[in-house]
Amino acid sequence: MLRGLLLLLVAASAQAAVEPGNWEFSLESPLQNNGATETRQRCLSPEEAKDPQKVLEQVRSKNNCQLSNVQDSGSEYRFDVACDAKVPVTGSGNVRYTPTTIDGAIDLVGETRGLRLKTRSFVSGRRLGPCKN
């Protein structure tokens, strides 16, 4: 659940100034199996590339997540996130982007059964070309 959330947040967070097309997103996270890197491709439509909230609607409704303190400088996107899932998590992210690349980190904290879990995940993305039909 959290790794899907992280990948969607990254895909959505850097879209304001990215080019539409086929993108490859990678996530390196201790939440993965033995810290393995997960890679996924996603086609970003011109509409999604202009409006990150369109992609975030999917993840927010599924995990009951809310973004706050969103700041976009035109090359860097910062945000706080809070999700009310089975294990509620809060955190923040920082993603640097160009029209064809993204790179950043997301810190999350959750608590379950009296244990506090804290993790830092690293994310990256690159535009591969036009979307395949």
Cα(37)–Cα(42) distance, rounded to whole angstroms?
Answer: 16
Total structural domains in the chain?
A: 1
pLDDT tens digits, one per residue of 72-82: 888 888 889 88
pTM of model > 0.85: no
Q: 83: which strand partners?
A: 65, 89
Count of Cβ atoms closer than 10 Å to residue 55 Cβ: 21
pLDDT tens by residue, 1-45: 455 555 556 655 554 568 889 989 888 877 656 667 888 888 888
Q: Which domain holds residue 70?
A: 2-129
| E strands in the chain | 21-28, 37-44, 65-72, 76-83, 89-97, 101-112, 115-129
Query: What does the mean pLDDT of the chain come to?
Result: 78
DSSP at 130: S
